[in-house]
Chain A
Amino acid sequence: MRFVDEFRDAEKAQALAAQIAALCEPGRQYKFMEVCGGHTHTIYKHGLEDYLPESITLVHGPGCPVCVIPMGRVDDAIFIAQQPDVIMTSFGDMMRVPGSNGAFFDATARGADIRMVYSPLDSLKIAKQNPDKRVVFMAIGFETTAPSSAMTVLRAKAVGIENFSIFCNHVTIIPAIKAILDSPDLRLDGFIGPGHVSTVIGCRPYEFIARDYGKPLVCAGFEPLDLLQSIYMLMLQLQEGRSEVENQYSRVVPWDGNLKALEVINEVMELRPYFEWRGLGFISHSALRVREEYASFDAERQFLVPGVRVADPKACQCGEVLKGVLKPWECKVFGTACTPETPIGTCMVSPEGACAAYYNFGRFTRERVKEATRS
Chain B
Amino acid sequence: MTSQHQRYQELSREEQVLQRIEKARARKAKLKEERITLSHGSGGKATQTLIEAVFLEAFANPLLAPLEDGAVLAAHGGRLAFTTDSYVVSPLFFPGGDIGDLAVNGTVNDLAVSGARPLWLSAGFILEEGFPVADLERIVGSMAAAAERAGVQIVTGDTKVVQRGKADGCYVNTAGVGVIERPLELGIATARPGDAVIVSGPIGEHGITVMLARGELDIESEVTSDTAPLNELVERLLDAAPGVRGLRDATRGGVATICNEVARAAGVAVVVEEEAVPVRPDVRGACELLGIDPLYVACEGRLVAVVDGDQVDAAMGALRSHPLGEGAAVIGRVRDDPPGLVLLKTSFGGTRIVDLLVGDPLPRIC
A contact residues vs B (CB 8 Å cutoff): 1, 4, 8, 10, 13-14, 36-38, 41, 44-51, 65-66, 91-93, 95-96, 105-106, 108-110, 116-118, 122, 140-142, 144-145, 196, 224, 329-330, 334-336, 339-342, 350-352, 359-365, 368-373
B20 touches which of A36, A50, A145, A335 (Cβ 8 Å): A335
Given the complex of chains A and B, what is the CA–CA distance between A96 and B288 in angstroms? 22
Contact assessment for B352 and A361 in the assembled complex, using a CB-CB cutoff below 8 Å: yes
B362's closest neighbor in chain A, by CB? A92
Known: A14-B349, A51-B350, A364-B338. A118 touches B216 (CB 8 A): yes
Bitwise, B242-269 to A at CB < 8 A (1) or not (0) is 0000000000000000000000000001
Given the complex of chains A and B, what is the CA–CA distance between A375 and B214 in angstroms? 42
B167 at the interface (CB under 8 A from A): no
Contact assessment for B349 and A50 in the assembled complex, using a CB-CB cutoff below 8 Å: yes
Bitwise, B102-122 to A at CB < 8 A (1) or not (0) is 000000000000000000000
B46 at the interface (CB under 8 A from A): yes
Chain B residues, Cβ within 8 Å of A140: 365
Contact assessment for B216 and A46 in the assembled complex, using a CB-CB cutoff below 8 Å: no
Contact assessment for A108 and B37 in the assembled complex, using a CB-CB cutoff below 8 Å: yes
Known: A46-B346, A144-B366. A106 touches B33 (CB 8 A): yes
B92 at the interface (CB under 8 A from A): no
Given the complex of chains A and B, what is the CA–CA distance between A296 and B202 in angstroms? 50
Contact assessment for A360 and B355 in the assembled complex, using a CB-CB cutoff below 8 Å: yes
Known: A334-B21, A341-B46, A373-B345. A47 touches B365 (CB 8 A): no
Contact assessment for B365 and A141 in the assembled complex, using a CB-CB cutoff below 8 Å: yes
| Inter-chain pairs besides A47-B344, A340-B355, A369-B351, 20 sampled, C-beta below 8 Å | A45-B293, A47-B348, A47-B350, A93-B364, A105-B359, A109-B33, A116-B363, A140-B365, A329-B14, A329-B17, A335-B24, A336-B24, A340-B358, A360-B353, A363-B18, A364-B341, A365-B14, A365-B18, A369-B338, A372-B338
Contact assessment for A13 and B335 in the assembled complex, using a CB-CB cutoff below 8 Å: no
Given the complex of chains A and B, what is the CA–CA distance between A359 and B14 in angstroms? 13
Contact assessment for B348 and A361 in the assembled complex, using a CB-CB cutoff below 8 Å: no
Contact assessment for B24 and A13 in the assembled complex, using a CB-CB cutoff below 8 Å: no
B134 at the interface (CB under 8 A from A): no
Contact assessment for A145 and B17 in the assembled complex, using a CB-CB cutoff below 8 Å: no
B293's closest neighbor in chain A, by CB? A45
Given the complex of chains A and B, what is the CA–CA distance between A342 and B45 in angstroms? 11
B contact residues vs A (CB 8 Å cutoff): 13-15, 17-18, 20-21, 23-25, 32-33, 35-39, 45-46, 49, 216-217, 269, 271, 281, 284-285, 288, 293, 335, 337-338, 341, 343-353, 355, 358-359, 362-366
Chain B residues, Cβ within 8 Å of A141: 365-366
Contact assessment for A8 and B364 in the assembled complex, using a CB-CB cutoff below 8 Å: no
Contact assessment for A341 and B49 in the assembled complex, using a CB-CB cutoff below 8 Å: yes
15 sampled A-B residue pairs with Cβ under 8 A: A4-B288, A38-B366, A44-B352, A47-B349, A48-B348, A50-B351, A105-B38, A117-B216, A334-B21, A335-B17, A341-B49, A365-B18, A368-B337, A370-B351, A373-B351
Chain A residues, Cβ within 8 Å of B343: 369, 372-373
A336 touches which of B21, B217, B281, B352 (Cβ 8 Å): B21
Given the complex of chains A and B, what is the CA–CA distance between A95 and B353 in angstroms? 24
User: Chain A nearest CB: distance from B15 CB in Å?
Assistant: 7
Contact assessment for A329 and B359 in the assembled complex, using a CB-CB cutoff below 8 Å: no
User: Chain B nearest CB: distance from A228 CB in Å?
Assistant: 10
Contact assessment for B18 and A196 in the assembled complex, using a CB-CB cutoff below 8 Å: no
Known: A1-B281, A96-B362. A105 touches B37 (CB 8 A): yes
Given the complex of chains A and B, what is the CA–CA distance between A307 and B285 in angstroms? 41
Chain B residues, Cβ within 8 Å of A340: 45, 355, 358
Given the complex of chains A and B, what is the CA–CA distance between A15 and B84 in angstroms? 53
Chain A residues, Cβ within 8 Å of B39: 96, 105
Chain B residues, Cβ within 8 Å of A106: 33, 35, 37
Chain B residues, Cβ within 8 Å of A10: 347-349
Q: Among the interface residues B25, B271, B358, which one has the most CB atoms of the partner chain A within 10 A?
A: B358
Contact assessment for B363 and A118 in the assembled complex, using a CB-CB cutoff below 8 Å: yes
A335's closest neighbor in chain B, by CB? B21
Given the complex of chains A and B, what is the CA–CA distance between A122 and B215 in angstroms? 11
User: Chain B nearest CB: distance from A110 CB in Å?
Assistant: 6
Known: A365-B18, A371-B337. A47 touches B346 (CB 8 A): yes
Chain B residues, Cβ within 8 Å of A116: 362-363
Chain B residues, Cβ within 8 Å of A359: 21, 355
Chain B residues, Cβ within 8 Å of A351: 364
A142's closest neighbor in chain B, by CB? B366
Chain B residues, Cβ within 8 Å of A109: 33, 35-37
Given the complex of chains A and B, what is the CA–CA distance between A38 and B18 in angstroms? 25
Chain A residues, Cβ within 8 Å of B217: 118
User: Chain B nearest CB: distance from A139 CB in Å?
Assistant: 11
Chain A residues, Cβ within 8 Å of B348: 8, 10, 13, 46-48, 224
Chain A residues, Cβ within 8 Å of B362: 92-93, 95-96, 116
User: Chain A nearest CB: distance from B173 CB in Å?
Assistant: 23
User: Chain B nearest CB: distance from A99 CB in Å?
Assistant: 14
Contact assessment for A96 and B18 in the assembled complex, using a CB-CB cutoff below 8 Å: no
Q: Among the interface residues B25, B35, B36, B352, which one has the most CB atoms of the partner chain A within 10 A?
A: B352
